Amino acid sequence: MANISGPQPEIKYCPICKGDLQNVPRDKMKTKKGPEHTHTYDCLKCSNRFEINQAQ
């Protein structure tokens, strides 16, 4: 499932504010050096950006 565009079913909401999330495609990430199985999300409510490494 790693690096597949679109929402991931395991990720439901922002861990900080519980707002909706948007998956950030790898080509739009600031750095492309992240692990292969990392997904990046932007919170649409609080603008927090975070990564989840699904390989761990």
What DSSP letter does each residue of 1-56 carry, written as one string?
Answer: -TT-SS--TT--S-TTT---EEEEPGGGSS-S-S-TTEEEEEETTT--EEEEETT-
So what's the pLDDT on residue 31?
63
Could you report the per-residue pLDDT of 8-48, keeping only the tens digit for each? 667 788 989 999 988 888 777 666 666 667 788 899 999 99
So what's the pLDDT on residue 1?
41
**Domain extents in the chain:** 1-56
So what's the pLDDT on residue 44?
95
So what's the pLDDT on residue 20?
93
Locate 10 and state its tokens: 């395991």
So what's the pLDDT on residue 23?
85
So what's the pLDDT on residue 43?
95
The answer to whether the beta carbons of residues 3 and 36 sit under 8 Å apart is: yes
